[in-house]
Amino acid sequence: MIKKLRKAVLPVAGLGTRFLPATKAMAKEMLPVVDKPLIQYAVEEARAAGIDQFCLITGRGKTALVEHFDIAYELERTLRDRGKSEALEVLRATQVEPGSMVAVRQQEPHGLGHAIWCARAFIGDDPFAILLPDDLVLSETPCLAQLAEAYYETGGNVVAVTEVPREHTNRYGILRIGHDDGRLVEVQGLVEKPLPADAPSNLSIIGRYILMPEVLRHLADMERGAGNEVQLTDGMAKLIGQQPFHGLRYEGRRFDCGDKIGFLEAQIAFALKRPEIAPAVREFLKQYC
């Protein structure tokens, strides 16, 4: 029996050094794309996939991430008193149900695999999604909802994959693939950041995963991989052959918002999808093109 997907883990403990000084006193996941922080895009995408329980893996100085989803009594009262009903609705849309979000501290930066292991009590024996807020996907159907459909179809692990230039394979987790129907790819192996000459394909995992809880047993070994860190990719690789494991070629365009160019491009792309501001954006872009 396939368990319902209800839980999501969001690793947000990174320092955001590529965006200093903006991230000196603000979590990088609070950087806005148009008018909404990256962390809110991730939570809304998870909600669209039917998820109602969230775990933020945080670090020191990241309390604003949790507070963003709390009730802001004083601000709500001010908006209500001033008759700003539209702004009030926008504000209320950021709130999550009481008890549906927890925060776990990753005290030391030992890699993504270690961050996921820190959420082991939250995950328990349930399947769970992972969303990396740095990866922002613009699509008709939210990316994680596409993965959830594939999860219910296959009953196993599913990761979002995209083709990358062969010369860039050393930046990503790369798949060794079996059967490929153009949408779902059978995963036969995973290699973390291989050199182009050693890469088994050019299919890369992006920051969207649905995993079975058994991955935690392998992460608990704390084996060090690439970069001398506990790599999630290495833990996932040990599930291959034991459980169904597929890559999904998702519909949509991914923006790497951990990179300045990707972040700026996302601003434009998402602004052009907003009918109330798209005409003005197109107009001012003419001055720069």
pLDDT in tens, 143-172: 999 999 999 999 999 999 999 898 888 888
| 84 within some domain | yes
Which helix (H) or strand (E) is 253 found in, with range? strand 253-256
| 2 within some domain | no
Nearest to 205 by CA among 242, 231, 243: 231
Strand 173-180 and strand 101-105: pairing? Answer: unpaired
Phi-psi group of 227: left, alpha or beta (phi > 0 → left; psi -120 to 50 → alpha; rest → beta) = left
CATH of the domain at 280: 3.90.550.10
Query: Which runs of E-coded beta strand occur in 90-223?
Result: 101-105, 128-131, 135-138, 157-163, 173-180, 184-192, 203-211
| 185 within some domain | yes
The top-scoring range by mean pLDDT among 39-48, 66-75, 91-100, 190-199 is 39-48
Domain extent for 75: 7-285
| 142 within some domain | yes
Does the pLDDT value for residue 225 go beyond 80? Answer: no
| 13 within some domain | yes
* Structural domains counted in the chain: 1
Residues 6 or more apart from 49 whose CB is under 8 A from it?
A: 5, 129, 142, 144, 145, 147, 148
| 1 within some domain | no
| 131 within some domain | yes
Does the pLDDT value for residue 276 go beyond 90? Answer: yes
| 57 within some domain | yes
The top-scoring range by mean pLDDT among 12-16, 78-82, 108-112, 279-283 is 279-283
